[in-house]
Amino acid sequence: MPEYVNVTIDGAKIRANKGTSVIDVALEYGICIPNLCHMKDLNPIGACRLCIVELVEGGRSKVTTSCTLEAKEGMVIFSHSPKIVETRKLIAEMLVAEAPNSRAIQDVAVRCGVTKVRFPFRNKNCVMCGRCVRACTEIWRSQSLGFVGRGKKRHVALPFHERPDFCKRCWYCVDICPMLITPCDGPMEPGNEYLCNKCESQLTMALESPDTCIQCRLGKGFGCPRGVTQE
Amino acid sequence: MEKINIPDTLKSFAQRKKSELEQYETVITVPSGTCCQAAGSLPVLLSLQKAVEKKKLQSKVRIRVSGCQGFCEQEPMVVIEPGGIFYGRVKPEDVKEIVEETVINKNIIDRLLYADPVSGKKVAKEEEIPFYKLQDRTILGENKFIDPCDIGEYIARGGYSAFVKVITTLSPDEVIAEVKTSGIRGRGGAGFPTWKKWEECRNAPGEIKYVICNADEGDPGAYMDRSVLEGNPHAILEGMLIGAFAVGATQGYIYVRNEYPLAVKNSRIATDQARELGLLGKNILGTGFDFDIHISRGGGAFVCGESSALMESVAGKVGEPKPKDVHATERGLFNLPTTLNNVETWANVPLIIKQGGAWFSSKGTEKSTGTKIFALTGKIKNTGLVEVPMGTTLRRIIYDIGGGPQGGAQIKAVQTGGPSGGCLPTLKFELPVDFEALSAAGSMVGSGGMVVMDDHSCMVDVAKYFLTFLQDESCGKCVPCRIGVDRMLEIITDISEGHGTMEQLDLLEEVSEAVAVGSLCGLGKTAPNPVLSTLRYFRHEYEEHIKNKRCSAGVCRELIHYSIDKEKCNGCGLCLKACPHGAVTGKKKKIHVINNELCNKCGICKEQCKFDAVILS
């Protein structure tokens, strides 16, 4: 017998399976919480901070990531409160300034309501979401990839920068990397980056933060069933 | 040393040791903490030992090597008991005179006495020194009486009696109730009620539980935890024993920075001695209580002072914070219930048990009880460690105890709580130092660092310094902290170099708020505090940098330039010789000129000039 818990997300009372994370509950129900580092079968690390929500507990609100938060009986959660939307927007803006050359990131940014980037673009190849590292470690038990360095110098690397024998060449790391889909107009030259806003034209409603997913490939990335896929 | 098997034996051990120590007529205390050693206490100690040997006084005079006593300004110092005669800034040459005059002839050497910088009066006795007199040194005061490498001295002063009281007469719930009465809150910075943590951990399911002492003190300008751990390690062991008994833990860890070699050494000696005496290990004092402490050395990351990162590091993994949706009291070290407290919190525990929670809560304010140690540094006369009751005003700490500004400058601000804290202007100096008042003002008590700044400090530069530190020390796991702090630094660098815009200032504020809300751990959540507080109180300085491209404190290198006053310069050539970049040109007895292209703005020429001819603009 599956056990259930009742949670309230954005005012909607939802019965969820015990032990699931809040983001999975919300996405299943059709409340789209933007996310990047979250993958359903991997341990959450709460690194991208896009899926932050407000958890109201005993009259106090606490901001935490919904991927690391386990749904518990009676939880009251707000995923689109003004404070959350504003913070999320700025985080997305910083992310897209870091890596504008990814359609996934551009899409997330537009999804979070970013229309203008106020930071100089940096055009990096990695946003350190850790999907590859965790998939390699947890799904394939290979540990061929890892984080190296601290802070600004943190990067993903192979052990001693050489592909080890225990790498199974499954290329799953490549499959799940959000950086590998280039923007619709093709790769941008360093120094000429821009926010294409193409995804915005596909939005069905002129809301700053729409409640349905964008009809492009990243709509699938959110795992939201209400996002219509278009192939 | 023989193992003590019954609690009562500890009392007779203490008696025996006490009478052993009382044989000596004179006790000379030489504080030799890390800071004292840096100031040169070891040569003083060595010559003191030689002088005592030479005069054949070994049976009458005992030299006690204690931990830091907090008055760092006067180090190396020597305190002679009885009488409590205090000699500051002692040199090895003075030692012979001290032994001959003070120890043998009982005369006070006027030359070596401490002169109060405010009144200029000489003070002979230690307790009369204003710096000490205005404090309430319940924890730090013990350092003076204790040789950290001798457990006997701690026991002779009544050490471990609180633990004996706990284990023989109290139940764990009673211990937690006593701690609750005391109202003590975590001294590490956040101020979480200690009893609550203990109770949560005690009620958490599980057989194996841990207690940890957080001695990973990384704030620039803070060193009180080091001094306590170096000077009185047994107080922490005793506190941890009591805590372990209360929460039901069997294993403890002291996580200490590897950059504190003396603290590592002293805590290792302390645990070894306690184990030898049967105060740690299996069946402690024959009561059937098992507990042991392991010293875990830090790996050199500031972020490891954060509780979840610390536990990862103790477990041998990369020190990165974990999401805290489940408290450490439920799932901490090795995913088992863990109680983590700061050094100072642990050191307070034996005192609370010994003197009662009511005694503790009588000090301080209603919500922040007890005393707190602050590391007072920066541009003031008396730098050092200050222990005052919570709720003491900043003015009292900075002006009365700290002695006010150095050399006629004006104090501008105080930075409390290290990189996570904020800068408070002089207007806020009437603020009582407690957890609530400081957070309401945009700063925090933090671990207790206090850096005083005068009008030679530029607040933009201060914010830049702390951001550089935090960007360097951020683990890089989450986006707001890794990218956000970096972007903030980018904007502040622009401003300090004179090409910032007012829009950037708004963006800086916006990023600061997002980082504070969105970050994963305490490091990121508090990282914007230095920026937000300087923006709140010193916005005009930012605006001056942006609009007028001017740094009135003369700190931001891109905005200042040096020149030579033609009327004052007499061509002595001092600046020419001193300039490391060859930027000063001029012939002897002729007016010199600074070449601004070569100038590195180091300011050495201004320091060297005896005629005030170098102008900073």
Reported as a single tens digit per residue, the pLDDT across A23-37 is: 888 888 878 888 888
What phi, psi does B60 have (nearest 5°)?
-105, -30
Does residue A184 have a pLDDT over 80?
Answer: no
Does residue A209 have a pLDDT over 60?
Answer: no
Residue matched to tokens 């703005």: B601
Q: How high is the pLDDT of residue A199?
A: 60
Which residues in A lie closer than 8 A to residue B503 (C-beta atoms)? 118
Q: Are residues A102 and A190 in the same domain?
A: yes
Q: Are residues B340 and B194 in the same domain?
A: yes
d(CA A19, CA A179): 31
Q: Are residues A137 and A206 in the same domain?
A: no
What phi, psi does A15 have (nearest 5°)?
-95, 125
Q: Are residues B63 and B39 in the same domain?
A: yes
Question: How many beta carbons lie within 10 A of that of residue B144, not counting itself?
Answer: 21
Q: Which of residues 138-177 of A touch B (CB under 8 A)?
A: 147, 149-154
How large is the ipTM?
0.87
Q: Are residues A96 and A110 in the same domain?
A: yes
Residue contact B483–A86, C-beta within 8 A: no
Q: How high is the pLDDT of residue B613?
A: 83
Average of per-residue pLDDT across A148-169: 89
Q: Are residues A33 and A66 in the same domain?
A: yes
- For B474-498, the three-class secondary structure string (H helix, E strand, C coil) is CCCCCHHHHHHHHHHHHHHHHHHCC
CATH number, domain containing residue A136? 3.30.70.20
CATH number, domain containing residue A56? 3.10.20.740
Reported as a single tens digit per residue, the pLDDT across B400-429 is: 888 888 887 889 999 988 888 889 999 888
Which residues in B lie closer than 8 A to residue A58 (C-beta atoms)? none
Q: How high is the pLDDT of residue A212?
A: 40
d(CA A107, CA B257): 44
Among A80, A104, A139, the domain-final residue is A80
Residues of chain B with pLDDT under 50: none
- Least Cα distance to A53 among A6, A9, A115, A113 occurs for A9
Q: Are residues A47 and A112 in the same domain?
A: no
Q: Are residues B502 and B591 in the same domain?
A: no
CA-CA-CA-CA torsion for B277, B280, B286, B287, nearest 10 degrees? 150
d(CA B364, CA B341): 20
Does residue A161 have a pLDDT over 50?
Answer: yes
Reported as a single tens digit per residue, the pLDDT across B87-134 is: 888 888 888 888 888 888 888 888 888 887 777 788 888 888 888 888
Q: Are residues A28 and A67 in the same domain?
A: yes
Going by pLDDT thresholds of 50, 70 and 90, the confidence category of residue A216 is very low
Eight-class DSSP state of A215:
S
DSSP string across B431-454: SB-SHHHHHHTT---TT-EEEEEE
CATH number, domain containing residue B596? 3.30.70.20
Q: Is B220 contained in some domain?
A: yes
Does residue A218 have a pLDDT over 50?
Answer: no
Q: Are residues B404 and B427 in the same domain?
A: yes
DSSP string across A95-124: HHHH-TT-HHHHHHHHHTT-----SPP---
Reported as a single tens digit per residue, the pLDDT across A144-156 is: 999 998 888 899 9
Q: How high is the pLDDT of residue A204?
A: 41
Does residue A76 have a pLDDT over 90?
Answer: yes
Q: How high is the pLDDT of residue B483?
A: 92
Among B454, B479, B511, the domain-final residue is B454
Q: Are residues A171 and A184 in the same domain?
A: no
Among B436, B454, B472, the domain-final residue is B454
Take residue B384 and report the two structure tokens written for it.
């050092």
AA identity, residue B25 = E
Q: In which domain, by residue range, is A194 found?
A: 83-124+179-221
Which of B303, B510, B520 is facing A90, going by the closest CB pair?
B510
Q: How high is the pLDDT of residue A219?
A: 42
CATH number, domain containing residue B445? 3.10.20.600
Q: How high is the pLDDT of residue A198?
A: 65
Q: Give the residue from B331, B517, B519, B523 with the most A CB atoms within 10 Å of its CB, the best one to mutate.
A: B517
DSSP string across B341-379: EEHHHHHHHHHHHHH-HHHHHTSB-SSSBSEEEEEEEES
Q: Are residues A92 and A195 in the same domain?
A: yes
Nearest Cα of chain A lies from the Cα of B481 at a distance, in angstroms, of 9
Nearest Cα of chain B lies from the Cα of A62 at a distance, in angstroms, of 9
